[in-house]
Amino acid sequence: MSHDNLPQHPQHVQNLQHPAFPDGFGTGAHGHVPQPYGPDDPSDLSDLADIDDRFVFDFRAYDDLEDGQRWSTWLSVEPLSRGPEPLPDWVVTSQGAVDTELGVLKTGKEADVHLVERADPLDPGAGVVMAAKRYRSPEHRSFHRAASYTEGRSMKRSRDERAVKKKSTFGRQVAAGEWAVSEWGALVRFWNLGLPVPYPVQIDGTEILMEWITVVDEDGTVRTAPRLAQTRPSPELLAAYFEQLTGALATMVQNGVVHGDLSAYNILAAGERLVIIDLPQIVDLVGNLNAMSFLQRDCANVCAWFRSRGLDVDEHALFAELMAHAF
């Protein structure tokens, strides 16, 4: 887990707030740094009076972490593992920020979704709650997503590919990470296309942090947006939802990609707006022979739900309309 390689507190905080090293540092300048303590009394700091100002810096102390907390992993992941620019203004990038576990949102077959708050203890007002989707460790998950999804998807190292095919323990580990990487790539791709998906904040191993999609109750309480399947929208809202979804599907198809597991369970209803989630299995229209049947199934799933709520829609008509956009 990412917790293992976190920088140690408080060195972490000190280092990060250290001013740029002065010119000449490393070329012998450090040889002149006075010893911090006198030889007899270790608490005697009088020698420090002579220390070059450039080596003196302030740091602010942070409390120790508690259970269910870790230092923000924002700076410990590579730049490409952070979300696309421009960053939304709510993303917390502070070096002293702490991630606090708030609890499990939903356990799934392959991943659990938790709520995590990221906040700098010295600036708590700027904190943010995010959804953390954590793919299960190899022993605890069942790979229900079939190989038909990954067909045509290239794996960089052939050793990994062979291991996944053989379903060895190593292969399962590779596959767990692959699904997270795949969902991360899909979120970034969809976000960059302007599609309604949660903003992808960062990926760290098998954990993806993303925007928490919420609704605000009449009394002002913020809570997780319901899945579309749990809602009973008014006829007007239902029609508006279908239009949004058709537009999103058309954008996907125009860009050569199919969700592959779309249903009213993988769409959140955030008030007037729909947000599409759960993307690890997206399939390319070109390169995957099954893409057309996945698209047909996606159309059938969503149309069945809209019909169940009273909107007269037809999956064949939707599929035909999308195909008209495709080529």
Ligand X SMILES: Nc1ncnc2c1ncn2[C@@H]1O[C@H](COP(=O)(O)OP(=O)(O)OP(=O)(O)O)[C@@H](O)[C@H]1O
Q: Which of 206, 210, 132, 207 is nearest to 176 (CA)?
A: 206
Q: Which is nearer to Mg ion, 178 or 278 (by Cβ)?
A: 278
Q: Which residue is nearest to Mg ion (CB)?
A: 278
Query: Is 290 a binder of ligand X (CB under 6 A)?
Result: no
Distance of closest approach, residue 20 Cβ to ligand X, in angstroms: 38
CB of 142 to ligand X, least distance (A): 10
- Which one of 266, 281, 288, 301 is in contact with Mg ion (CB under 5 A)? 266
Residue tagged 């939903």 (tokens): 106
Closer to Mg ion by Cβ: residue 278 or 315: 278
298 binds Mg ion, rule: CB under 5 A:
no
How far is CA 31 from each of CA 26, 36, 52, 166, rounded to the nearest angstrom? 9, 13, 12, 57
261 CB-contact burial (10 Å; exposed 0-12 / middle 13-18 / buried 19+): buried
The piece of 6-14, 128-136, 223-231, 277-285 that touches Mg ion (CB under 5 A) is: 277-285
From the list ligand X, Mg ion, none, pick the one residue 105 interacts with, judged by a Cβ distance below 5 to 8 Å according to partner type: ligand X
CB of 28 to ligand X, least distance (A): 53
Residue nearest to ligand X (CB): 108
- Which of 59-67, 83-91, 100-108, 173-181 is the region at the interface with ligand X (rule: CB under 6 A)? 100-108
In this structure, the number of other CB atoms found within 10 A of the CB of residue 282 comes to 25
Binding mask 167-206 for ligand X (x = CB under 6 A): -------------------------------x--------
227 binds, among ligand X, Mg ion, none (CB under 5 to 8 A by kind): ligand X
* Strand-pair category, 267-270 with 283-284: unpaired
The smaller minimum CB distance to Mg ion, of residues 188 and 276, is found at: 276
Q: Which is nearer to ligand X, 55 or 265 (CB)?
A: 265
- 74 with 100: CB under 8 angstroms? no
Residue 133 touches ligand X, criterion: CB under 6 A: yes
**Strand partners for 133:** 113, 208
Which residues partner with 135 through β-bridges? 111
Q: Residue 121: is the preceding peptide bond cis (ω within 30°)? A: no
Picking from 93, 41, 55, the residue whose alpha carbon sits closest to that of residue 209 is: 93
CA atoms within 13 A on the CB side of 236: 2
Say if strands 267-270 and 273-276 run parallel, antiparallel, or are unpaired.
antiparallel
Q: Which of 208, 277, 299, 322 binds ligand X (CB under 6 A)?
A: 277
Q: Does the footprint of Mg ion cover residue 278 (CB under 5 A)?
A: yes
Calpha distance 225→213 (Å, rounded): 6
**Residue 319's closest CA among 304, 297, 289?**
297
**Residue 99 is a binding residue for Mg ion (CB under 5 A):** no
End-to-end, the C-alpha distance of the chain in Å comes to 44
What are phi and psi for residue 167, nearest 5 degrees? 55, 35
Out of 120, 278, 298, 315, the residue judged to bind ligand X by CB under 6 A: 278
**Binding-site ranges for Mg ion (CB under 5 A):** 266, 278
Contacts with ligand X, residue ranges (CB under 6 A) = 105-106, 108-111, 113, 131, 133, 198, 210-213, 224-225, 227, 265-266, 268, 277-278
